[in-house]
Amino acid sequence: MADYSMMIGGAAGQGVQTVSETLSTILTRSGYYVFSIESYESRIRGGHTFTLLRVGEKQLLGARRSLDVLVCLNEETYERHIHKVHPKGIVFGKVKDQLRGEDIRVFSMDFEGEALQLGNKIFANMVATGAVLAILGIPLQKAQEYLQEAFGKKGTEIVAKNEEALKRGAEIVANFGLEGKYPLPPYDPTPRYLVSGNEALGLGALLAGCTFYSAYPMTPSTGILNFLASRAQEYGLVIEQAEDEIAAINMAIGASYAGARAMTGTSGGGFCLMCEGLGLAAMTETPIVVVDAQRPGPSTGLPTRTAQGDLLFVIHASHDEFPRFVFAPKDPEEAVNTVIRAFNLAEKYQVPAIILSDQYLADTKWSYDVFSVQERPERPLLPNKVPKPYKRYALFPDGVSPRLFPGDEHLVVADSDEHDEFGHLTENLLIRKAMQEKRMKKLELMRQEMRFPFFIPGKDATLLGWGSTWGVLLETRRELQKKGKEIGILHFSDLYPLPRGLQELLAGLPTPVVVEHNFTGQLAMLLSRETLLAFPKRICRYDGLPFLVEELTEKVEEVLST
Amino acid sequence: MTRDFDNPQVEIAWCPGCGNFGILRALKETLEELGYKPQQVVLVSGIGQAAKTPHYLKANVFNGLHGRSIPVAFAIKATRPELCVIAESGDGCMYGEGGNHFLHAIRRNPDITVLVHNNQVYGLTKGQASPTSEEGFTTKAQPWGNLAHPLNPLSLAISQGASFVARAFAGDIEGLKGILKRAITFRGFALVDILQPCVTFNRVNTYSWYQERVYYLGDDHNPHDQIAAFERSLEWGNRIPLGVFYMNPKPTYEEKIRERTLRQRNVFDTEVFTTILQKELSRFL
Ligand SMILES: Cc1ncc(C[n+]2csc(CCOP(=O)(O)OP(=O)(O)O)c2C)c(N)n1
Ligand code: SF4
Ligand SMILES: [Mg+2]
């Protein structure tokens, strides 16, 4: 079955992302499945950036290390990645030593030179795109349609030049006799969706009925801001770039108090600044949704890399204790549903809901045959009669008081100080005790809303993971299956509060191995705390890069052999 | 007689003689005289003595975090422009902890009123220097005397072209009411810095200290002249001007987004949901 991995690398500013964007779209529209991950640096020009693009006939859930095609927009790409190309692979572009003594075939192609002949070196990336399409035997027709869409606004001349560049790339490949070298099966006309994590989180917010989004730019969360801003005009959204993350979360809280569904998004550093605001949402029982798109830290860390280091942080963030939801969607499809659910649950229990994303989920594009959105925005019903005079924090048995908005006949008083049922500040310690119990009471009800982890049994071992690693865990399981091992998976998207009944499940798992993008194994610690079981086998990657299928497979084999 | 905005339910925790009492009374009377109902008003505050004020009125209240009243007020107004939104807090809260929000609210120009009870000290935390304390002001935390130069909030706001900038004195309730009326009815970001004696922790800037110095800007002052307003704002010492220093009417934030917010639809309607879902998904094909 056709399944190829390709890498396109170059310096920032050389248009690697355009190649990736163009190829992913065209390949998806041509009926194939794509999985593309972006690796970039925190700079606008220079440095090294690449896209890892996998294309195949069946749905792909992760990226592979070993490359079939390496496209070098600069020589550095060649030097850095040539060792990843497997025997019989093809390398082209700015290459160094053309004779490798192995089966790898290396072709020198001067993309920039070709582009210059067309009038401008910016067309170099389209020459490369044409070359890749030719190697895969994809006719250029779909590509031409896409160019019209993507560059139409810039004028017919630009579209024509890009088309020429595509053709030029394809011609060169034909001259080398490489056309259709990695053939894909005939065209399947099923339309497919191609969605990244950030787009999905933005789409989820839009569908959830979020009409207020405030944020301070911070990679890798900025794509959510961009997505929602692109829809603001059409759907009447209030989108505000705040002066800092403190303002961003306080704005979201203000908007929610006033009746809007409000969200903010950031990365770890910005989340640190939001902690006091998170407590404010909890204390005033104002529902908000906060996305933390994780990146390695501490401090500024690695802005453009991936990590899962904030799990225990967000569960505990802000002083004293209060209930909150924490979710970590496994892929873009689940991300859309998770955001809608997070809004519904945050409102139902009047608590903050946190969604953990990461650079890997945020920037990776997945393709789907069916993109299923099952969740619907729901506003919780008010009791038939709200007792008068209105008490914002009325002590109802379940801890959830009727929530009204200002502007109607009732007065709505919310307070960050400890307060009485009306919302007025108090230092009466009996009331304090009752209020803390009221808030904390919700936690057990919230727990009942949480879904059980996704589970596939396997007798040889079980891989435990959370959030964005789901796909690569599944791919790794398949890989090990080929080697005769039966590996199970237990994957968590609902992380806090954890659902009940985990103890029995976890106690019976054969050889649990926790796989995480952090140093200490935070899921393992969380589960140990919850179940009093120990999870000593851990595979932790914290260099900022996502797990790739072969690497994780090797690591699992290694762990199981010790 | 209880008036609309009176809230006899809540016990007031200020020291007897505190300047905040005058501000509270002036605010209640102003809102009533302007014809507002408590339901139409949202008072947003931070933390401090001044920030307790909203609890002592009958109105909608959001008493948030220290320094963070402005972002909350901004968002309430952006979401519900029909409400009268007032952010109210102390000098430490607005100019210290929340200084960044103050600057950026001027830039956004939401139609909110910002009332700063400026007692030139941190009252609630028992008397430390605030951003507006005078140089040399001694406190337990600054026994050697405050080393920093006081912030001039009026000059700052005027220099940034804030749309309405005024100063009032808590010791003159009628004068304060006149200014509050103009600030609340003004369309755009309106700052009123209110000189507020703290009888417990500020033994320098007392009622009589202010009374000896304050005077109202006369007809000779043109509040539409930014340079003149800036010049008058620098006056501080033997004579301290009160009144409306500067007015710079310009489109508000809510006006700028109005065309857009009118497009909001019922987000909980199933049909609306389905239409948006289909349209959006087709964009990902
Ligand atoms: C984040 C945070 N830091 C510190 C405090 C403690 N604190 C409460 S009020 C205040 C200063 C009050 O001064 P001001 O804003 O001038 O109000 P005043 O009491 O003078 O009216 C401080 C430092 C707090 N509540 N929150
Ligand atoms: S400490 Fe000062 S500001 Fe606070 S209530 Fe007493 S007099 Fe007023
Ligand atoms: Mg003060």
Give the per-residue pLDDT at A142: 83
Question: B71 and A247 in contact by Cβ < 8 A?
Answer: yes
**pLDDT tens-place string over residues A217-258:** 999 999 999 999 999 999 999 999 999 999 999 999 999 999
Instruction: State the amino acid at position A314 in one-letter form.
Output: V
**Average pLDDT over chain B, rounded to an integer:** 97
Distance of residue A163 Cα from the nearest chain B Cα, in angstroms: 22
CA–centroid distance, residue A351 to ligand 1 (Å): 26
**A350 backbone φψ class: left, alpha, beta (φ>0; ψ -120 to 50):** left
Domain spanning B20-250: CATH 3.40.50.970: yes
How far is residue B189's CA from residue A417's CA, in Å, rounded to a whole number? Answer: 27
Name residue, tokens 């789409």.
Answer: A203
Distance of residue A236 Cα from the nearest chain B Cα, in angstroms: 4
Residue B166 main-chain phi, psi, to 5 deg: -140, 160
Give the per-residue pLDDT at A98: 60
**What residues contact B269, with CB distance under 8 A and at least 6 apart?**
none
Distance of residue A237 Cα from the nearest chain B Cα, in angstroms: 6
Query: Given A29, A208, A425, which is nearest B63 (Cβ)?
Result: A425
Give the per-residue pLDDT at B1: 59
ipTM: 0.98
Asked if residue A10 lies in contact with residue A73, where contact means CB atoms within 8 angstroms, the answer is yes
**pLDDT tens-place string over residues A451-478:** 999 999 999 999 999 999 999 999 999 9
Asked if residue A68 lies in contact with residue A50, where contact means CB atoms within 8 angstroms, the answer is no
Residue B162 main-chain phi, psi, to 5 deg: -55, 150
Q: Is A306 helix (H, G, I), strand (E, B) or coil?
A: coil
Question: B82 and A407 in contact by Cβ < 8 A?
Answer: yes
Asked if residue B223 lies in contact with residue B245, where contact means CB atoms within 8 angstroms, the answer is yes
CA–centroid distance, residue B204 to ligand 1 (Å): 20
How far is residue A495's CA from residue A455's CA, in Å, rounded to a whole number? Answer: 15
Question: Which residue of chain A has the CA closest to B274?
Answer: A207
Asked if the bond preceding A389 is cis, omega within 30° of 0, the reply is yes
Q: Looking at the domain A195-368, which fold is it?
A: Rossmann fold (3.40.50)
Examine the pLDDT at A332 and tell me if it is beyond 90: yes
Does any CB of chain A come closer than 8 Å to the CB of residue B1?
Answer: no
Examine the pLDDT at A102 and tell me if it is beyond 70: no
Label residue A31 by pLDDT band (50, 70, 90): confident
Asked if residue A313 lies in contact with residue A368, where contact means CB atoms within 8 angstroms, the answer is no
DSSP string over B197-261: --TTT-SSS-HHHHHHHEEE--TT--TT-HHHHHHHHT--SS-EEEEEEEE-----HHHHHHHHH
A399 closest CA partner among A446, A358, A361, A362: A446
Pocket-forming residues, ligand 2, beta carbon under 6 Å? B 14-15, 18, 20, 49, 119, 123, 198-201
How far is residue B16's CA from residue A140's CA, in Å, rounded to a whole number? Answer: 83
Chain CA centroid to CA A402, Å:
34
Give the per-residue pLDDT at A141: 85
DSSP state of B133: P
Does any CB of chain A come closer than 8 Å to the CB of residue B49?
Answer: no
CA–centroid distance, residue B67 to ligand 3 (Å): 12
The Cα angle at residue B27 between residues A408 and A253, in degrees rounded to 5: 45
Asked if residue A213 lies in contact with residue B75, where contact means CB atoms within 8 angstroms, the answer is no
Do A454-560 and A195-368 have the same topology in CATH?
yes
- The average pLDDT across A414-423 equals 98
Residue A52 main-chain phi, psi, to 5 deg: -105, 115
Give the per-residue pLDDT at B2: 65
User: Going by CA atoms, what residue is nearest to atom 22 of ligand 1?
Assistant: B125
Strand partners, A102: none
Label residue A384 by pLDDT band (50, 70, 90): confident
The Cα angle at residue A488 between residues A486 and A490, in degrees rounded to 5: 175
Query: Given A191, A276, A379, which is nearest B268 (Cβ)?
Result: A379
- The average pLDDT across A4-33 equals 91
To test the pocket of ligand 1, the residue of B15, B89, B97, B142 to mutate (highest count of ligand atoms within 8 Å of its CB) is B97
Structure tokens at A237: 């959204």
**pLDDT tens-place string over residues B145-164:** 999 999 999 999 999 999 99
Label residue A88 by pLDDT band (50, 70, 90): confident
Interface size A-B, in CB pairs within 8 Å, comes to 177
* pLDDT over 90, % of chain A: 82
CATH of domain A3-176: 3.40.920.10
Question: A257 and B72 in contact by Cβ < 8 A?
Answer: yes
Domain ranges of chain A: 3-176, 195-368, 382-449, 454-560
Label residue B105 by pLDDT band (50, 70, 90): very high
How far is residue A79's CA from residue A102's CA, in Å, rounded to a whole number? Answer: 16
User: Going by CA atoms, what residue is nearest to atom 6 of ligand 2?
Assistant: B15
Name residue, tokens 């890498």.
Answer: A7
- The average pLDDT across A124-130 equals 93
Q: Residues whose CB is under 5 A from ligand 3 (ion)?
A: B 90-92, 119
Examine the pLDDT at A101 and tell me if it is beyond 60: no
**B167-191 core/surface letters (b: 16 or more CB in 10 A; e: else):** bbbbbbbebbbbbbbbbbebebbbb
CA–centroid distance, residue B66 to ligand 3 (Å): 12
- Angle, in degrees to the nearest 10, between helices B173-185 and B20-33: 50
Which strands, in side-by-side order, build the sheet including A67-72? A105-108, A85-93, A67-72, A3-12, A46-56, A33-39, A365-368, A193-196
Give the per-residue pLDDT at B213: 98
Label residue B138 by pLDDT band (50, 70, 90): very high
Chain CA centroid to CA B66, Å:
14
Query: Given B80, B263, B270, which is nearest A376 (Cβ)?
Result: B270
Query: Does the CA dihedral B193-B195-B201-B205 come out positive or negative?
Result: positive
Label residue A562 by pLDDT band (50, 70, 90): confident
Give the per-residue pLDDT at B95: 98
Name the maximum alpha-carbon separation found in chain A. Answer: 86
Name the helix (H) or strand (E) containing B177: helix B173-185
Query: Which of A56-65, A510-519, B73-82 is predicted least confidently?
Result: A56-65
Label residue A197 by pLDDT band (50, 70, 90): very high
Distance of residue A363 Cα from the nearest chain B Cα, in angstroms: 15
Domain covering A454-560: architecture = 3-Layer(aba) Sandwich (3.40)
Distances (CA, A) of A197 to A187, A288, A308, A358, A410: 27, 20, 15, 9, 41
Label residue A300 by pLDDT band (50, 70, 90): very high
Strand partners, B247: B164
Distance of residue B219 Cα from the nearest chain A Cα, in angstroms: 38
Examine the pLDDT at A100 and tell me if it is beyond 90: no
- The average pLDDT across A424-430 equals 96
Q: Which atom of ligand 2 is nearest to the CA of B17?
A: 7
**B39-48 core/surface letters (b: 16 or more CB in 10 A; e: else):** bebbbbbbbb
Pocket-forming residues, ligand 1, beta carbon under 6 Å? B 47-50, 66, 89-93, 117, 119, 121-125, 130
**Cβ contacts of B60 on chain A, cutoff 8 Å:** 406-407, 411-413
Structure tokens at A537: 């086998």
